[in-house]
Amino acid sequence: MVYFPEVEKIQYEGVGTKNPFAFRHYNPEEVVEGKTMKEHLRFAIAYWHTMTQDGSDPFGNPTNERPWFGATPLETAKNRVEAFFEILVKLDAPYFCFHDIDIAPEGDTLEEFYENLDIITDLIKAKMDETGIKLLWNTANMFSNPRFVNGAGSSNNADVFAYAAAQVKKGLDISKKLGGENYVFWGGREGYESLLNTDMKLEQDNIARLFKMAIAYGEKIGHKPQFLIEPKPKEPTKHQYDFDAATTLAFILKYGLEGDFKLNLEGNHATLAGHTFEHELTVARINDALGSIDANQGDVLLGWDTDEFPTNVFDTTLVMLEILENGGIAPGGVNFDSKVRRSSFAKEDLFLAHIAGMDTFARGLKGAAAIRKDNFLSDLKAKRYASFESGIGASIVAGNEDLESLTEYSLKNGANIKNESSHIELVKSQLNDYLV
Ligand SMILES: [Mn+2]
């Protein structure tokens, strides 16, 4: 069945087009810095927001037109595979991502869930073989079912920990079956409501135990995706352990996971943590931990996770600058963990929203490449830190100085130290010239 007969395969038509079902900036085959846009951006579409999100909110019922509901949950799940691959093909998206419960009904038992996952992943595999579309990452949803009320890896209940392990094992079996390039852990319930009843050390030790079991099982079955942890400071849990990139890096280093784990960073999670998206990418990049990104944006006037499609060119330019500085994002990608607004309920909005996001990231890529071509920010930074290139600065960096030698230097150099103006307003204005 064709779910979107009125939508043709989306083509690049350039900025002059009036066709809303066309790319105006994302030209998959256009070469930027020696690679095609398709290779740079590695776009992925998220199963959850695209196929299962219904437009309901805490105050209102579903609004979304989604014509794939069948007589049973399993029939709906099968229909969703058809519709999803129609969207992927028509958007020319090379990758997709999912949680286990997005694709198949949980049923009443773990055995039934496994059977449903086998049925649906057979269908997905056939579609992947037919289209060449690949799995960027999958993950286990260990936060929606009531059993995860007190967490999964961090639960106080050992039976819940065991059940989470069984979901992760199946997730890795599916990853192997579908050739998943990454495997994600997002701990929405891994945190605490109150410290009064929480053993933080045991909870964090246990999360690390679960991650080490995942590494060991991947080695056992001969499938080694890049493992990723996705930081988020809060929501649904009041305080989540993977608060931001720096906190999660400390966890990775404490438990010796740095060889196997990197970070999957999301725009809206960054802003909830009080950071910009590019801050989180910079922290990851300078620590060799930039794995993948969840491309979305929040609303500056709202304090929760709205997961909006990215439309802010300033943000995507700075994000793509970090990705280019990192030498690319592979084996990660740019996953649209983004949902249409409740008022944007037409089924065709799934295309229009992804086109908006893809064009916004393509603009960001072009702008970032232009900044690098002119050495705009690299020259500016080189000049700003020039004092560490020669003289006493070079000697500090080389490790040749200590507190006594620097005291001697400062006594001679004097207290009247000259600083340079940043001219930061000029820099910001010049940056605007690079926005595409
Ligand atoms: Mn989010």
Distance of CA 396 from the midpoint of ligand 1 (Å)? 42
Active-site residue (options: 102, 242, 244, 359) = 102
Centre of ligand 1 to C-alpha 7, Å, is 28
Instruction: Convert the pLDDT of each residue in 238-285 to its tens digit.
Output: 999 999 999 999 999 999 999 999 999 999 999 999 999 999 999 999
Q: Give residue-wise pLDDT tens across range 104-120.
A: 999 999 999 999 999 99
Binding residues: 230, 266, 269, 294, 305, 307, 337
Q: How far is the CA of 232 from the centre of ligand 1 (A)?
A: 8
Among residues 25, 40, 49, 99, which one is catalytic?
99
Residues 231-251 as b or e (16 or more Cβ within 10 Å = b): bbbbeebeebbbbbbebbbeb
Alpha helices in 231-342 (DSSP H): 245-254, 267-272, 277-286, 313-325
Distance (angstroms) between ligand 1 centre and the Cα of 229 equals 14
What is the 3-state secondary structure of 393-431?
HHHHHCCCCCHHHHHHHHHHHCCCCCCCCCCHHHHHHHH
pLDDT in tens, 219-249: 999 999 999 999 999 999 999 999 999 999 9
Determine whether 99 is an active site residue: yes
3-state secondary structure of 199: coil
Whether 374 sits among the annotated catalytic residues: the reply is no
SS3 content of the chain, % helix, strand, coil (to 5): 45, 10, 40
- 9 C-alpha to ligand 1 centroid (Å): 28
Calculate how far, in angstroms, residue 297's C-alpha sits from the geometric centre of ligand 1: 8
Predicted confidence at residue 145, as pLDDT, reads: 98
- Give the H/E segment covering residue 228: strand 226-229
Question: If you count DSSP H runs as helices and E runs as strands, how many of each does the chain have, helices first?
Answer: 16, 14
Please give the average per-residue pLDDT across 296-318, as a whole number: 96
Instruction: Determine the distance from the C-alpha atom of residue 176 to the mean position of all C-alpha atoms in its chain, rounded to a whole number.
Output: 21
**Binding site for Mg(2+), residues?**
230, 266, 269, 294, 305, 307, 337
Complete domains list, the chain, with CATH: 11-374 (3.20.20.150), 379-433 (no CATH)
State the average pLDDT over residues 378-396.
Answer: 98
